[in-house]
């Protein structure tokens, strides 16, 4: 079992809906990440939070809005998504902040998102 928990596991939403993805870790990690992964492709970085502050935004459209309420939680708010946004959304965490040098990231099992 992964120590990074993501909910829900599956989500189907229409293009006008508003929904949120949630990620939680209790390892005391200080950096948290959102990735998007299309089928048979590698994960692509979207956002990085370090010590609860947004450090990196990889030019992600504003219909994706991240939030880090505290050091253990990471949300991704979704609004007015497009069919091409259907993908697996992965959350990851790493022990030190994002400027903490070489360190592995630990992934959750993702939310499978389908946009109708």
Positions in the binding site for another protein (CB under 8 A): 2, 4, 6, 31, 33, 40-45, 48, 55-56, 90, 92, 94, 96-110
CB of 2 to another protein, least distance (A): 6
If the CB atoms of residues 48 and 115 are measured against another protein, the closer one turns out to be: 48
If the CB atoms of residues 4 and 115 are measured against another protein, the closer one turns out to be: 4
CB of 93 to another protein, least distance (A): 11
If the CB atoms of residues 63 and 96 are measured against another protein, the closer one turns out to be: 96
CB of 15 to another protein, least distance (A): 25
CB of 94 to another protein, least distance (A): 6
**Is residue 29 packed enough to be buried (19+ CB in 10 Å), middle (13-18) or exposed (0-12)?**
buried
**Is residue 57 packed enough to be buried (19+ CB in 10 Å), middle (13-18) or exposed (0-12)?**
middle
If the CB atoms of residues 40 and 84 are measured against another protein, the closer one turns out to be: 40
């Amino acid at each position: 079992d992964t120590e990074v928990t993501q909910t829900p596991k599956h989500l189907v939403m229409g293009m006008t809906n508003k929904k949120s993805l949630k990620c939680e870790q209790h390892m005391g990690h200080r950096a948290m990440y959102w990735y998007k992964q299309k089928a048979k492709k590698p994960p692509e970085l979207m956002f990085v939070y370090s010590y609860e502050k947004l450090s990196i935004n990889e030019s992600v459209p504003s219909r994706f809005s991240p939030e880090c309420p505290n050091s253990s939680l990471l949300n991704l708010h979704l609004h007015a998504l497009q069919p091409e946004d259907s993908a697996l959304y992965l959350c990851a965490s790493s022990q030190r902040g994002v400027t903490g040098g070489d360190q592995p990231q630990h992934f959750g099992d993702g939310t499978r998102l389908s946009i109708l």
